[in-house]
Amino acid sequence: MTILISRVFAAAALVVCIPLSNAHADVSLVEAAPTSSTASEAVGDLVVSGGFARAMLPGAKVGGGYLTIVNPGSKADRLISVSSPAAGRVELHEMAMEGEVMRMRALKEGLAIAAGETIALAPGGKHLMFFGVAEPFEEGASVAVTLTFEHAGAVEAALAVLSSGATQAEQK
């Protein structure tokens, strides 16, 4: 009985988190979507690409963002903060099983990127969490973010807003 209840709660957590990860933008801060949602930005040895967010439900104040960070260099780095004019604050989060229960937790120490490593922030795993979103993100728009790394510094990127069920950036 306990295992069944735990699995029900784990499923419920996923159902709740999926819509929450569908948002982030202030209408006045939303721009036309870039011609390719697979555009990449470089800072130091790092390359950030494939950024996207999901369209939000009306009235939603919390949403998620996803991207890939590649470190082809010989030195480790760490994503230490993320900001966006479209949200009051942005945090790095991770979904992980704790026993029989799926939980979301903030990555307070940031996100380490080892030399030669590729890190994918994706639905159901590590992701950006936007809080205090003024207006829900609309499909076809984009959301500006600034990623700050411990060694490489800051880089600006645009997350294309895709459908609420998107699981990866669309190849164009």
Confidence of residue 96 (pLDDT cuts 50, 70, 90): confident
Phi, psi torsion values for 73, nearest 5 degrees: -75, -175
27 compared with 106, residue with greater pLDDT: 106
* Per-domain residue ranges of the chain: 2-162
Contacts 24+ apart (CB under 8 A), 68-71: 68/118, 68/119, 68/120, 68/121, 69/111, 69/113, 69/118, 69/119, 69/121, 70/46, 70/117, 70/118, 71/45, 71/46, 71/113, 71/114, 71/115, 71/116, 71/117, 71/118, 71/119
pLDDT at 121: 96
* pLDDT tens by residue, 22-79: 443 333 333 443 333 457 899 999 999 999 999 999 999 999 999 999 999 999 999 9
Region 131-136: what's the mean pLDDT? 93
100 confidence band (pLDDT: 50, 70, 90): very high
Homologous superfamily assigned to 2-162: PCu(A)C copper chaperone (2.60.40.1890)
Of the listed ranges 21-35, 81-95, 118-132, 144-158, the least confidently predicted one is 21-35
Q: pTM of the entire structure? A: 0.75
Taken in order 134, 139, 141, 143, the sign of the CA dihedral is positive
